[in-house]
A and B are shown apart, each in its own frame.
Chain A
Amino acid sequence: MRSLSIPLLAALLAASPALTQTAALAQGDTLAQVKARGHLVCGVSGGVAGFSMPDGQGRWHGLDVDFCRALAAAIFDDPDAVRFIPQSSAARFTALQSGEIDVLARNTTWTLSRDTAAMNFPVITFFDGQGFLVRKSLNVTAVKQLDRATICLQQGTTTELNTADWFRTRGLTYQVVTFANSEQTLGAYESGRCDAYSTDKSSLFGERLKTAHPEAHVILEEAISKEPFAPGVRQGDDAWRDLVAWTHYAMLDAEEAGITQENVDRLRGETLSPDVKRILGLEGKYGQGLGLTGDWAYRIVRHVGNYGDVFARNLGDGTPLKIPRGLNALWTNGGLHYGPPIR
Chain B
Amino acid sequence: MPDSPLLTAAAVAVIALAIAAVVAVGLKVLRSFRELGTDAERATYKTLHAASRAGQHLRTGLNPAGAAKASKQLRSLLGCDALAITDTTGVLAWDGAGEELKPALMGLAAKVLDGGHLAVIPAGELQLQAAGGGGRTLAPEVERAVVIAPIKAGNRVVGVVAAFAPAAGAGLVRATGEVADWVATQVELAELDASRTLLMEAEVRALRAQISPHFIYNSLNAIASFINTDPVRARELVVEFADFTRYSFRRHGDFTTLAEELRCIDRYLLLERARFGDRVQVSLRIAPEVLSTVIPFLSLQPLVENAVRHGLEAKEGPGHISITANDSGAFAEVTIEDDGVGIDPDQLRSVLAGHSDGEHVGLRNVDARLRQVYGDDNGLVIETAPGEGTLITMRVPKSQPRHDA
**Do A and B make up one complex?**
no
| Residues of chain B having any CB pair with chain A under 8 Å | none
